[in-house]
Structure 1
Amino acid sequence: MLTGNQSHLTEFLLLGLTTDPKQQMWLFAIFLAMYLINVVGNSVIIAAIRGDVCLHTPMYFFLSNLSLADICFTTVIVPAMLVNMITQRKTITFGQCLTQMYFFVAFGTTDSFLLAAMAIDRYVAICNPLHYTTTMSPRRCLLLVVVSWVVSHLHSLTHTVLMARLSFCGSNIIHHFFCDVQPLLTLSCSDTSVNELVTFTEGSFVLMSSLIFIIVSYVYIARAVLRVPSGGGRYKVFSTCGSHLTVVALFYGTIISVYIRPSSTYSVTKDRVVTVIYTVATPMLNPFIYSLRNKDMKQALRKLTGRVRIT
Protein backbone atom coordinates (compact mmCIF):
# COMPACT_ATOMS: atom_id res chain seq x y z
CA MET A 1 0.00 0.00 0.00
CA LEU A 2 1.38 3.41 -1.02
CA THR A 3 0.78 6.97 0.05
CA GLY A 4 -0.69 9.66 -2.16
CA ASN A 5 2.54 10.49 -3.94
CA GLN A 6 3.27 6.76 -4.45
CA SER A 7 6.69 7.14 -2.87
CA HIS A 8 6.47 5.47 0.51
CA LEU A 9 5.06 2.14 1.69
CA THR A 10 2.72 2.32 4.66
CA GLU A 11 2.54 -1.42 5.32
CA PHE A 12 4.52 -4.58 4.72
CA LEU A 13 3.62 -8.20 4.07
CA LEU A 14 5.32 -10.73 6.35
CA LEU A 15 5.56 -14.04 4.49
CA GLY A 16 6.42 -15.98 7.64
CA LEU A 17 8.18 -19.33 7.64
CA THR A 18 5.93 -20.95 5.03
CA THR A 19 2.85 -20.26 2.90
CA ASP A 20 1.63 -23.87 3.00
CA PRO A 21 -1.58 -24.00 5.18
CA LYS A 22 -0.86 -27.56 6.36
CA GLN A 23 2.67 -26.68 7.41
CA GLN A 24 1.37 -23.56 9.14
CA MET A 25 -0.92 -25.70 11.33
CA TRP A 26 2.02 -27.77 12.54
CA LEU A 27 4.22 -24.69 12.97
CA PHE A 28 1.46 -22.95 14.94
CA ALA A 29 1.26 -25.85 17.40
CA ILE A 30 5.06 -26.10 17.71
CA PHE A 31 5.67 -22.37 18.21
CA LEU A 32 2.75 -22.02 20.63
CA ALA A 33 4.16 -24.85 22.73
CA MET A 34 7.68 -23.38 22.63
CA TYR A 35 6.39 -19.94 23.58
CA LEU A 36 4.36 -21.27 26.52
CA ILE A 37 7.35 -23.31 27.74
CA ASN A 38 9.50 -20.19 27.47
CA VAL A 39 7.09 -17.96 29.43
CA VAL A 40 6.25 -20.57 32.08
CA GLY A 41 9.85 -21.78 32.45
CA ASN A 42 11.41 -18.34 32.78
CA SER A 43 8.58 -17.15 35.07
CA VAL A 44 9.23 -20.13 37.34
CA ILE A 45 12.94 -19.28 37.41
CA ILE A 46 12.12 -15.68 38.45
CA ALA A 47 9.62 -16.85 41.10
CA ALA A 48 12.06 -19.42 42.49
CA ILE A 49 14.86 -16.84 42.79
CA ARG A 50 12.62 -14.24 44.40
CA GLY A 51 11.14 -16.78 46.81
CA ASP A 52 14.39 -18.32 48.06
CA VAL A 53 16.61 -16.15 50.25
CA CYS A 54 19.58 -18.40 49.48
CA LEU A 55 19.39 -17.28 45.84
CA HIS A 56 19.50 -13.57 46.63
CA THR A 57 23.02 -13.34 45.23
CA PRO A 58 24.48 -11.42 42.27
CA MET A 59 24.54 -14.46 39.95
CA TYR A 60 20.86 -15.22 40.45
CA PHE A 61 19.96 -11.54 40.35
CA PHE A 62 21.44 -11.41 36.85
CA LEU A 63 19.76 -14.72 35.95
CA SER A 64 16.32 -13.40 36.96
CA ASN A 65 16.85 -10.36 34.76
CA LEU A 66 17.98 -12.61 31.91
CA SER A 67 14.79 -14.66 32.28
CA LEU A 68 12.70 -11.47 32.18
CA ALA A 69 14.56 -10.27 29.07
CA ASP A 70 14.03 -13.69 27.42
CA ILE A 71 10.27 -13.50 28.03
CA CYS A 72 10.10 -9.99 26.55
CA PHE A 73 12.42 -10.94 23.68
CA THR A 74 10.19 -13.79 22.50
CA THR A 75 6.91 -11.97 23.25
CA VAL A 76 7.86 -9.26 20.77
CA ILE A 77 7.83 -11.84 17.96
CA VAL A 78 5.91 -15.06 18.60
CA PRO A 79 2.37 -13.87 19.54
CA ALA A 80 2.12 -11.70 16.43
CA MET A 81 3.43 -14.57 14.30
CA LEU A 82 0.85 -16.95 15.79
CA VAL A 83 -1.97 -14.48 15.09
CA ASN A 84 -0.78 -14.15 11.49
CA MET A 85 -0.86 -17.93 11.11
CA ILE A 86 -4.44 -18.16 12.39
CA THR A 87 -5.96 -15.16 10.61
CA GLN A 88 -3.80 -15.40 7.47
CA ARG A 89 -3.52 -11.62 7.73
CA LYS A 90 0.17 -11.12 7.25
CA THR A 91 0.23 -7.34 6.81
CA ILE A 92 1.92 -5.05 9.32
CA THR A 93 1.97 -1.25 9.23
CA PHE A 94 5.22 0.65 8.90
CA GLY A 95 4.89 2.01 12.44
CA GLN A 96 4.17 -1.42 13.91
CA CYS A 97 7.10 -2.87 11.99
CA LEU A 98 9.51 -0.27 13.40
CA THR A 99 8.10 -0.79 16.90
CA GLN A 100 8.63 -4.54 16.66
CA MET A 101 12.15 -4.03 15.36
CA TYR A 102 12.93 -1.57 18.17
CA PHE A 103 11.93 -3.90 21.00
CA PHE A 104 13.45 -6.95 19.32
CA VAL A 105 16.87 -5.25 19.06
CA ALA A 106 16.56 -3.77 22.57
CA PHE A 107 15.74 -7.03 24.36
CA GLY A 108 18.22 -9.02 22.28
CA THR A 109 21.01 -6.59 23.20
CA THR A 110 19.95 -6.69 26.85
CA ASP A 111 20.41 -10.46 26.74
CA SER A 112 23.99 -10.06 25.53
CA PHE A 113 24.88 -7.51 28.22
CA LEU A 114 23.36 -9.65 30.98
CA LEU A 115 25.34 -12.67 29.78
CA ALA A 116 28.48 -10.53 30.03
CA ALA A 117 27.51 -9.39 33.55
CA MET A 118 27.07 -13.03 34.58
CA ALA A 119 30.52 -13.88 33.20
CA ILE A 120 32.08 -11.01 35.16
CA ASP A 121 30.31 -12.25 38.29
CA ARG A 122 31.74 -15.76 37.81
CA TYR A 123 35.22 -14.31 37.21
CA VAL A 124 35.17 -12.33 40.46
CA ALA A 125 33.71 -15.26 42.43
CA ILE A 126 36.34 -17.73 41.21
CA CYS A 127 39.42 -15.57 40.68
CA ASN A 128 38.97 -13.01 43.48
CA PRO A 129 36.75 -14.72 46.05
CA LEU A 130 38.05 -12.66 48.99
CA HIS A 131 36.90 -9.44 47.32
CA TYR A 132 33.67 -10.86 45.91
CA THR A 133 31.32 -9.30 48.47
CA THR A 134 32.72 -5.81 48.02
CA THR A 135 33.28 -6.00 44.25
CA MET A 136 29.86 -7.41 43.46
CA SER A 137 27.94 -5.31 45.96
CA PRO A 138 24.16 -4.96 45.53
CA ARG A 139 24.63 -1.36 44.34
CA ARG A 140 27.11 -2.35 41.64
CA CYS A 141 24.99 -5.28 40.51
CA LEU A 142 21.97 -3.00 40.22
CA LEU A 143 24.08 -0.50 38.28
CA LEU A 144 25.22 -3.23 35.86
CA VAL A 145 21.62 -4.29 35.23
CA VAL A 146 20.35 -0.72 34.78
CA VAL A 147 23.18 0.08 32.37
CA SER A 148 22.42 -3.12 30.43
CA TRP A 149 18.77 -2.15 29.94
CA VAL A 150 19.38 1.56 29.23
CA VAL A 151 22.28 1.15 26.79
CA SER A 152 20.36 -1.59 24.96
CA HIS A 153 17.39 0.72 24.40
CA LEU A 154 19.64 3.58 23.27
CA HIS A 155 21.35 1.20 20.85
CA SER A 156 17.98 0.08 19.49
CA LEU A 157 16.71 3.66 19.25
CA THR A 158 19.69 4.57 17.05
CA HIS A 159 18.91 1.83 14.54
CA THR A 160 15.18 2.59 14.61
CA VAL A 161 15.66 6.29 13.91
CA LEU A 162 18.03 5.51 11.04
CA MET A 163 15.52 3.02 9.62
CA ALA A 164 12.65 5.52 9.91
CA ARG A 165 14.45 8.00 7.65
CA LEU A 166 14.67 5.52 4.76
CA SER A 167 12.20 5.35 1.88
CA PHE A 168 10.40 2.14 0.95
CA CYS A 169 8.82 2.44 -2.48
CA GLY A 170 9.27 -0.94 -4.18
CA SER A 171 8.24 -4.36 -2.98
CA ASN A 172 6.55 -4.54 0.44
CA ILE A 173 7.14 -8.27 0.90
CA ILE A 174 9.36 -9.19 3.87
CA HIS A 175 10.70 -12.74 3.51
CA HIS A 176 10.73 -13.26 7.25
CA PHE A 177 8.40 -13.90 10.18
CA PHE A 178 9.04 -10.54 11.89
CA CYS A 179 10.51 -7.10 11.17
CA ASP A 180 14.27 -7.36 11.49
CA VAL A 181 16.99 -4.92 10.46
CA GLN A 182 18.52 -6.82 7.54
CA PRO A 183 15.26 -7.76 5.73
CA LEU A 184 14.06 -4.15 5.94
CA LEU A 185 17.33 -2.78 4.57
CA THR A 186 17.03 -5.03 1.52
CA LEU A 187 13.61 -3.49 0.72
CA SER A 188 14.65 0.15 0.95
CA CYS A 189 14.91 2.13 -2.27
CA SER A 190 17.08 4.85 -0.70
CA ASP A 191 20.76 4.89 0.20
CA THR A 192 21.30 2.47 3.10
CA SER A 193 25.07 2.93 3.37
CA VAL A 194 24.80 4.85 6.67
CA ASN A 195 22.53 2.19 8.14
CA GLU A 196 24.85 -0.60 7.03
CA LEU A 197 27.90 1.24 8.37
CA VAL A 198 26.26 1.81 11.76
CA THR A 199 24.95 -1.77 11.88
CA PHE A 200 28.36 -3.21 11.09
CA THR A 201 30.44 -0.85 13.30
CA GLU A 202 28.31 0.27 16.25
CA GLY A 203 26.26 -2.92 16.18
CA SER A 204 29.39 -5.07 16.05
CA PHE A 205 30.97 -3.06 18.87
CA VAL A 206 27.93 -3.44 21.14
CA LEU A 207 27.61 -7.16 20.44
CA MET A 208 31.31 -8.01 20.40
CA SER A 209 32.20 -5.91 23.47
CA SER A 210 29.99 -8.09 25.65
CA LEU A 211 31.39 -11.22 23.99
CA ILE A 212 34.96 -10.01 24.64
CA PHE A 213 34.13 -9.53 28.34
CA ILE A 214 32.81 -13.09 28.41
CA ILE A 215 35.86 -14.56 26.63
CA VAL A 216 38.37 -12.68 28.80
CA SER A 217 36.50 -13.63 31.98
CA TYR A 218 36.53 -17.31 31.08
CA VAL A 219 40.18 -17.27 30.05
CA TYR A 220 41.06 -16.13 33.57
CA ILE A 221 38.56 -18.61 35.04
CA ALA A 222 40.15 -21.46 33.07
CA ARG A 223 43.60 -20.46 34.32
CA ALA A 224 42.34 -20.42 37.90
CA VAL A 225 40.62 -23.79 37.50
CA LEU A 226 43.78 -25.43 36.14
CA ARG A 227 45.56 -24.42 39.36
CA VAL A 228 42.99 -26.25 41.49
CA PRO A 229 44.74 -29.43 42.73
CA SER A 230 41.68 -31.61 43.29
CA GLY A 231 39.58 -33.03 40.47
CA GLY A 232 36.44 -32.51 42.52
CA GLY A 233 37.17 -28.80 42.84
CA ARG A 234 37.66 -28.47 39.10
CA TYR A 235 34.43 -30.32 38.38
CA LYS A 236 32.50 -28.05 40.77
CA VAL A 237 33.78 -24.92 39.02
CA PHE A 238 33.13 -26.28 35.53
CA SER A 239 29.62 -27.41 36.48
CA THR A 240 28.91 -23.93 37.84
CA CYS A 241 30.09 -22.22 34.65
CA GLY A 242 29.00 -24.90 32.18
CA SER A 243 25.37 -23.76 32.01
CA HIS A 244 26.37 -20.18 31.31
CA LEU A 245 28.85 -21.21 28.62
CA THR A 246 26.20 -23.35 26.91
CA VAL A 247 23.79 -20.41 26.73
CA VAL A 248 26.56 -18.10 25.49
CA ALA A 249 27.51 -20.55 22.73
CA LEU A 250 23.90 -20.94 21.55
CA PHE A 251 23.13 -17.22 21.66
CA TYR A 252 26.30 -15.77 20.13
CA GLY A 253 26.93 -18.62 17.72
CA THR A 254 23.65 -17.95 15.93
CA ILE A 255 23.33 -14.19 16.30
CA ILE A 256 26.83 -13.40 15.00
CA SER A 257 26.22 -15.44 11.84
CA VAL A 258 23.25 -13.20 11.02
CA TYR A 259 24.35 -9.69 12.02
CA ILE A 260 28.13 -9.42 11.87
CA ARG A 261 28.36 -9.31 8.07
CA PRO A 262 27.33 -7.10 5.11
CA SER A 263 23.60 -7.05 4.23
CA SER A 264 24.50 -8.08 0.65
CA THR A 265 25.21 -11.59 1.95
CA TYR A 266 21.76 -11.89 3.57
CA SER A 267 20.17 -15.27 2.79
CA VAL A 268 16.41 -15.58 3.27
CA THR A 269 16.16 -19.34 3.85
CA LYS A 270 19.32 -19.79 5.92
CA ASP A 271 18.83 -16.75 8.14
CA ARG A 272 15.19 -17.51 8.93
CA VAL A 273 16.19 -20.93 10.29
CA VAL A 274 19.09 -19.51 12.31
CA THR A 275 16.88 -16.69 13.63
CA VAL A 276 14.36 -19.21 14.98
CA ILE A 277 17.15 -20.71 17.11
CA TYR A 278 18.13 -17.53 18.97
CA THR A 279 14.68 -15.88 19.08
CA VAL A 280 12.56 -18.87 20.14
CA ALA A 281 14.62 -21.99 20.88
CA THR A 282 17.39 -20.52 23.05
CA PRO A 283 15.08 -18.51 25.39
CA MET A 284 12.97 -21.66 25.79
CA LEU A 285 16.00 -23.81 26.65
CA ASN A 286 17.60 -21.36 29.11
CA PRO A 287 15.45 -22.35 32.13
CA PHE A 288 16.31 -26.02 31.59
CA ILE A 289 20.01 -25.33 31.04
CA TYR A 290 20.31 -23.25 34.20
CA SER A 291 18.21 -25.53 36.41
CA LEU A 292 19.17 -29.08 35.41
CA ARG A 293 22.85 -28.76 36.39
CA ASN A 294 22.41 -26.36 39.29
CA LYS A 295 21.78 -27.84 42.74
CA ASP A 296 20.74 -24.49 44.25
CA MET A 297 18.16 -23.94 41.52
CA LYS A 298 16.82 -27.49 41.91
CA GLN A 299 16.38 -26.94 45.63
CA ALA A 300 14.66 -23.59 45.07
CA LEU A 301 12.32 -25.16 42.51
CA ARG A 302 11.42 -27.91 45.02
CA LYS A 303 10.60 -25.26 47.62
CA LEU A 304 8.50 -23.34 45.10
CA THR A 305 6.64 -26.51 44.11
CA GLY A 306 6.02 -27.31 47.76
CA ARG A 307 4.56 -23.85 48.43
CA VAL A 308 2.31 -24.15 45.37
CA ARG A 309 0.97 -27.53 46.52
CA ILE A 310 0.25 -26.18 50.01
CA THR A 311 -1.72 -23.22 48.64
Structure 2
Amino acid sequence: MRNFITLEEKGSVREFIANDLNNAGLRIDTNKYRNIIINQLSPHITNNLKQQQQGSRVFNVPLHQMDTISVKIDNFDLTVPIFLRWCFDCIRRSIKHEGLFRKSGGSQRVKELMARIEDGPLTPSLSPSNTVFDVCSLFKEFLRRLTYPLITYPLQDLLLDCFSMRSLTLDKKIDMYLNILLLLPDEHLHTLIYILRFLHEITLNERDNKMNAKNLAICVGPGIMRTIIEGKTNIMTEQCATSVSDIVETLIINSTKLGYITESIYERSQMLLEMRQKEVISNSDESFAIENGIDNGISSTGKINDPTNAKKTS
Protein backbone atom coordinates (compact mmCIF):
# COMPACT_ATOMS: atom_id res chain seq x y z
CA MET A 1 0.00 0.00 0.00
CA ARG A 2 1.14 3.53 -0.77
CA ASN A 3 0.75 6.60 1.48
CA PHE A 4 -1.70 8.90 -0.32
CA ILE A 5 -1.23 11.83 2.06
CA THR A 6 2.43 12.34 1.16
CA LEU A 7 1.86 12.40 -2.62
CA GLU A 8 2.65 15.78 -4.15
CA GLU A 9 0.39 15.22 -7.17
CA LYS A 10 -2.94 13.66 -6.22
CA GLY A 11 -5.01 14.61 -9.28
CA SER A 12 -4.07 11.65 -11.47
CA VAL A 13 -4.57 9.26 -8.54
CA ARG A 14 -8.05 10.62 -7.94
CA GLU A 15 -8.86 10.18 -11.62
CA PHE A 16 -8.12 6.46 -11.40
CA ILE A 17 -10.00 6.18 -8.12
CA ALA A 18 -13.06 7.75 -9.76
CA ASN A 19 -12.66 5.48 -12.77
CA ASP A 20 -12.38 2.35 -10.60
CA LEU A 21 -15.42 3.36 -8.57
CA ASN A 22 -17.35 3.86 -11.78
CA ASN A 23 -16.31 0.42 -13.03
CA ALA A 24 -17.46 -1.08 -9.72
CA GLY A 25 -20.98 0.20 -10.29
CA LEU A 26 -21.13 3.69 -8.78
CA ARG A 27 -22.55 6.36 -11.06
CA ILE A 28 -19.56 8.63 -11.55
CA ASP A 29 -19.12 10.46 -14.82
CA THR A 30 -15.34 10.18 -15.03
CA ASN A 31 -15.25 12.96 -17.62
CA LYS A 32 -16.83 15.28 -15.08
CA TYR A 33 -15.29 13.87 -11.92
CA ARG A 34 -13.29 17.06 -11.41
CA ASN A 35 -16.57 18.87 -10.77
CA ILE A 36 -17.17 16.53 -7.85
CA ILE A 37 -13.87 17.60 -6.34
CA ILE A 38 -14.17 21.29 -7.17
CA ASN A 39 -17.84 21.80 -6.34
CA GLN A 40 -18.18 19.59 -3.28
CA LEU A 41 -17.55 22.59 -1.04
CA SER A 42 -20.63 24.31 -2.45
CA PRO A 43 -23.34 23.55 0.12
CA HIS A 44 -26.68 22.34 -1.20
CA ILE A 45 -28.33 24.93 0.96
CA THR A 46 -27.24 28.37 2.05
CA ASN A 47 -28.43 28.20 5.66
CA ASN A 48 -24.96 27.32 6.92
CA LEU A 49 -23.46 30.29 5.10
CA LYS A 50 -26.04 32.58 6.66
CA GLN A 51 -25.12 31.20 10.08
CA GLN A 52 -21.45 32.02 9.60
CA GLN A 53 -20.52 34.61 12.17
CA GLN A 54 -18.22 37.53 11.54
CA GLY A 55 -14.93 36.95 13.33
CA SER A 56 -15.71 33.34 14.27
CA ARG A 57 -12.60 31.15 14.40
CA VAL A 58 -13.91 27.64 15.12
CA PHE A 59 -17.68 27.40 14.97
CA ASN A 60 -19.69 28.15 11.82
CA VAL A 61 -16.60 28.45 9.63
CA PRO A 62 -15.07 26.20 6.93
CA LEU A 63 -12.16 23.95 7.87
CA HIS A 64 -9.79 25.72 5.50
CA GLN A 65 -10.25 29.00 7.40
CA MET A 66 -9.33 27.60 10.83
CA ASP A 67 -6.01 27.92 12.63
CA THR A 68 -4.26 24.58 12.22
CA ILE A 69 -1.44 22.53 13.64
CA SER A 70 0.57 19.61 12.29
CA VAL A 71 0.15 16.27 14.06
CA LYS A 72 1.86 12.99 13.30
CA ILE A 73 -0.05 9.70 13.32
CA ASP A 74 1.92 6.67 12.16
CA ASN A 75 3.24 7.61 8.70
CA PHE A 76 0.91 10.58 8.32
CA ASP A 77 1.69 14.24 8.88
CA LEU A 78 -1.79 15.67 9.22
CA THR A 79 -2.86 19.30 9.30
CA VAL A 80 -5.82 19.67 11.65
CA PRO A 81 -7.58 22.48 13.57
CA ILE A 82 -5.79 23.51 16.77
CA PHE A 83 -9.13 23.37 18.55
CA LEU A 84 -9.55 19.73 17.62
CA ARG A 85 -6.23 18.64 19.09
CA TRP A 86 -7.04 20.49 22.31
CA CYS A 87 -10.45 18.83 22.37
CA PHE A 88 -9.07 15.32 21.98
CA ASP A 89 -6.27 15.92 24.49
CA CYS A 90 -8.91 16.88 27.05
CA ILE A 91 -11.04 13.82 26.33
CA ARG A 92 -8.03 11.51 26.27
CA ARG A 93 -7.28 12.33 29.91
CA SER A 94 -10.67 10.84 30.81
CA ILE A 95 -10.84 8.22 28.08
CA LYS A 96 -12.08 5.52 30.47
CA HIS A 97 -15.14 7.47 31.60
CA GLU A 98 -18.32 5.59 30.79
CA GLY A 99 -20.56 7.07 28.10
CA LEU A 100 -18.17 9.34 26.19
CA PHE A 101 -20.15 11.18 23.47
CA ARG A 102 -23.31 9.42 24.64
CA LYS A 103 -23.81 11.42 27.82
CA SER A 104 -24.47 15.10 27.25
CA GLY A 105 -22.54 17.91 28.87
CA GLY A 106 -24.21 20.83 30.59
CA SER A 107 -25.71 23.07 27.91
CA GLN A 108 -24.79 26.30 29.71
CA ARG A 109 -21.23 25.13 30.37
CA VAL A 110 -20.84 24.14 26.71
CA LYS A 111 -22.05 27.58 25.57
CA GLU A 112 -19.58 29.24 27.93
CA LEU A 113 -16.75 27.09 26.55
CA MET A 114 -17.71 28.03 22.99
CA ALA A 115 -17.65 31.71 23.87
CA ARG A 116 -14.26 31.42 25.60
CA ILE A 117 -12.77 29.67 22.57
CA GLU A 118 -14.11 32.23 20.11
CA ASP A 119 -13.07 35.23 22.22
CA GLY A 120 -9.86 33.95 23.76
CA PRO A 121 -7.27 31.20 23.30
CA LEU A 122 -8.17 28.22 21.11
CA THR A 123 -6.89 25.94 23.87
CA PRO A 124 -8.53 27.28 27.05
CA SER A 125 -8.01 25.83 30.50
CA LEU A 126 -11.04 23.96 31.77
CA SER A 127 -12.71 25.29 34.89
CA PRO A 128 -13.27 22.94 37.86
CA SER A 129 -16.95 22.75 36.95
CA ASN A 130 -16.26 21.44 33.43
CA THR A 131 -16.54 17.71 32.75
CA VAL A 132 -15.26 15.51 29.93
CA PHE A 133 -18.85 15.31 28.71
CA ASP A 134 -18.84 19.08 28.20
CA VAL A 135 -15.88 18.70 25.84
CA CYS A 136 -17.52 15.76 24.05
CA SER A 137 -20.64 17.88 23.49
CA LEU A 138 -18.44 20.74 22.31
CA PHE A 139 -16.87 18.45 19.70
CA LYS A 140 -20.28 17.33 18.44
CA GLU A 141 -21.36 20.97 18.23
CA PHE A 142 -18.21 21.71 16.22
CA LEU A 143 -19.19 19.05 13.67
CA ARG A 144 -22.78 20.28 13.46
CA ARG A 145 -21.67 23.87 12.87
CA LEU A 146 -19.08 23.26 10.16
CA THR A 147 -19.98 25.39 7.15
CA TYR A 148 -19.40 22.34 4.95
CA PRO A 149 -19.89 18.87 6.45
CA LEU A 150 -16.75 16.91 7.25
CA ILE A 151 -17.71 14.36 4.58
CA THR A 152 -18.95 16.62 1.81
CA TYR A 153 -22.37 16.19 0.25
CA PRO A 154 -21.32 14.66 -3.11
CA LEU A 155 -19.19 12.05 -1.35
CA GLN A 156 -21.95 11.30 1.15
CA ASP A 157 -24.13 10.44 -1.84
CA LEU A 158 -21.46 8.06 -3.14
CA LEU A 159 -21.06 6.40 0.27
CA LEU A 160 -24.81 5.89 0.61
CA ASP A 161 -25.05 4.54 -2.96
CA CYS A 162 -22.23 2.12 -2.20
CA PHE A 163 -23.89 1.08 1.07
CA SER A 164 -27.10 0.20 -0.79
CA MET A 165 -25.37 -2.01 -3.40
CA ARG A 166 -26.41 -5.51 -2.36
CA SER A 167 -24.17 -7.21 -4.89
CA LEU A 168 -21.02 -6.10 -3.06
CA THR A 169 -19.31 -8.03 -0.29
CA LEU A 170 -18.50 -6.16 2.92
CA ASP A 171 -14.78 -6.20 2.10
CA LYS A 172 -15.46 -4.67 -1.31
CA LYS A 173 -17.65 -1.99 0.25
CA ILE A 174 -14.92 -1.14 2.74
CA ASP A 175 -12.38 -0.72 -0.07
CA MET A 176 -14.80 1.52 -1.94
CA TYR A 177 -15.60 3.61 1.16
CA LEU A 178 -11.90 4.22 1.75
CA ASN A 179 -11.31 5.17 -1.88
CA ILE A 180 -14.34 7.47 -2.00
CA LEU A 181 -12.98 9.42 0.96
CA LEU A 182 -9.69 10.04 -0.84
CA LEU A 183 -11.67 12.35 -3.12
CA LEU A 184 -12.19 14.73 -0.19
CA PRO A 185 -10.42 18.11 -0.11
CA ASP A 186 -7.13 17.68 1.76
CA GLU A 187 -8.17 19.61 4.88
CA HIS A 188 -11.30 17.46 5.18
CA LEU A 189 -9.40 14.22 4.59
CA HIS A 190 -6.73 15.08 7.18
CA THR A 191 -9.34 16.03 9.76
CA LEU A 192 -11.45 12.95 9.07
CA ILE A 193 -8.47 10.63 9.51
CA TYR A 194 -7.60 12.38 12.77
CA ILE A 195 -11.15 12.06 14.10
CA LEU A 196 -11.65 8.44 13.06
CA ARG A 197 -8.31 7.43 14.59
CA PHE A 198 -9.29 9.07 17.87
CA LEU A 199 -12.70 7.39 17.89
CA HIS A 200 -10.95 4.08 17.27
CA GLU A 201 -8.68 4.85 20.23
CA ILE A 202 -11.76 5.27 22.39
CA THR A 203 -13.04 1.82 21.36
CA LEU A 204 -9.80 0.28 22.65
CA ASN A 205 -11.02 1.26 26.12
CA GLU A 206 -14.51 -0.14 25.58
CA ARG A 207 -14.35 -2.31 28.71
CA ASP A 208 -14.33 0.84 30.84
CA ASN A 209 -16.13 3.49 28.78
CA LYS A 210 -18.72 1.13 27.25
CA MET A 211 -18.32 2.82 23.86
CA ASN A 212 -17.70 0.51 20.92
CA ALA A 213 -17.63 1.55 17.27
CA LYS A 214 -21.37 1.05 16.88
CA ASN A 215 -22.23 3.23 19.89
CA LEU A 216 -19.83 5.96 18.79
CA ALA A 217 -21.22 5.90 15.25
CA ILE A 218 -24.75 6.42 16.57
CA CYS A 219 -23.59 9.40 18.66
CA VAL A 220 -21.12 11.06 16.28
CA GLY A 221 -22.16 9.77 12.85
CA PRO A 222 -24.87 12.41 12.22
CA GLY A 223 -22.23 15.12 12.67
CA ILE A 224 -19.70 13.47 10.37
CA MET A 225 -22.32 12.86 7.65
CA ARG A 226 -24.86 15.67 7.73
CA THR A 227 -27.32 14.48 5.12
CA ILE A 228 -29.98 16.64 3.51
CA ILE A 229 -33.65 15.76 3.59
CA GLU A 230 -36.15 17.92 1.70
CA GLY A 231 -33.92 20.97 1.66
CA LYS A 232 -33.08 20.97 5.36
CA THR A 233 -29.77 20.16 7.02
CA ASN A 234 -29.28 18.00 10.09
CA ILE A 235 -32.54 16.13 9.48
CA MET A 236 -32.45 12.41 8.70
CA THR A 237 -35.06 9.80 8.03
CA GLU A 238 -34.79 6.75 10.25
CA GLN A 239 -33.57 4.66 7.31
CA CYS A 240 -30.92 7.23 6.40
CA ALA A 241 -29.77 7.51 10.02
CA THR A 242 -29.28 3.74 10.14
CA SER A 243 -27.26 3.79 6.92
CA VAL A 244 -25.08 6.65 8.17
CA SER A 245 -24.50 4.88 11.47
CA ASP A 246 -23.47 1.65 9.72
CA ILE A 247 -21.09 3.49 7.38
CA VAL A 248 -19.42 5.49 10.16
CA GLU A 249 -19.11 2.36 12.32
CA THR A 250 -17.29 0.65 9.45
CA LEU A 251 -15.02 3.68 9.01
CA ILE A 252 -14.10 3.71 12.71
CA ILE A 253 -13.26 0.01 12.67
CA ASN A 254 -11.15 0.43 9.53
CA SER A 255 -9.71 3.85 10.38
CA THR A 256 -6.09 2.65 10.17
CA LYS A 257 -6.61 1.82 6.48
CA LEU A 258 -7.79 5.28 5.42
CA GLY A 259 -5.19 7.36 3.60
CA TYR A 260 -3.58 4.58 1.58
CA ILE A 261 -3.89 3.51 -2.05
CA THR A 262 -3.00 0.26 -3.78
CA GLU A 263 0.21 -0.05 -5.77
CA SER A 264 -1.93 -0.66 -8.86
CA ILE A 265 -3.64 2.74 -8.60
CA TYR A 266 -0.33 4.46 -7.85
CA GLU A 267 1.51 2.89 -10.77
CA ARG A 268 -1.29 3.67 -13.24
CA SER A 269 -1.47 7.25 -12.02
CA GLN A 270 2.29 7.70 -12.44
CA MET A 271 2.11 6.37 -16.00
CA LEU A 272 -0.67 8.85 -16.76
CA LEU A 273 1.29 11.68 -15.16
CA GLU A 274 4.44 10.88 -17.14
CA MET A 275 2.46 10.66 -20.37
CA ARG A 276 0.88 14.07 -19.75
CA GLN A 277 4.22 15.63 -18.88
CA LYS A 278 5.69 14.34 -22.14
CA GLU A 279 2.71 15.74 -24.04
CA VAL A 280 3.21 19.15 -22.43
CA ILE A 281 6.92 19.16 -23.31
CA SER A 282 6.21 17.98 -26.85
CA ASN A 283 3.49 20.59 -27.39
CA SER A 284 5.71 23.30 -25.93
CA ASP A 285 8.62 22.38 -28.22
CA GLU A 286 6.30 22.25 -31.22
CA SER A 287 4.79 25.67 -30.44
CA PHE A 288 8.24 27.19 -29.96
CA ALA A 289 9.43 25.77 -33.27
CA ILE A 290 6.39 27.05 -35.15
CA GLU A 291 6.65 30.52 -33.63
CA ASN A 292 10.35 30.81 -34.44
CA GLY A 293 10.42 28.93 -37.74
CA ILE A 294 12.99 26.48 -36.39
CA ASP A 295 13.55 23.52 -38.70
CA ASN A 296 13.07 20.63 -36.32
CA GLY A 297 10.89 18.77 -38.76
CA ILE A 298 8.09 21.33 -38.53
CA SER A 299 7.81 24.37 -40.78
CA SER A 300 6.61 27.77 -39.65
CA THR A 301 3.27 26.92 -41.25
CA GLY A 302 2.95 23.83 -39.12
CA LYS A 303 3.64 21.39 -41.99
CA ILE A 304 6.08 18.52 -41.73
CA ASN A 305 9.45 19.40 -43.29
CA ASP A 306 11.47 16.92 -45.29
CA PRO A 307 15.07 17.37 -44.13
CA THR A 308 16.36 16.17 -47.50
CA ASN A 309 14.84 19.22 -49.26
CA ALA A 310 17.32 21.52 -47.58
CA LYS A 311 20.23 19.49 -48.94
CA LYS A 312 18.83 19.61 -52.50
CA THR A 313 18.51 23.41 -52.51
CA SER A 314 21.90 24.12 -50.99
TM-score band by shorter chain is under 0.3
Q: TM-score, normalised by structure 2?
A: 0.28
- Higher RCO (Cα < 8 Å, 6 or more apart): 1
Larger Rg: 2
Q: TM-score, normalised by structure 1?
A: 0.28
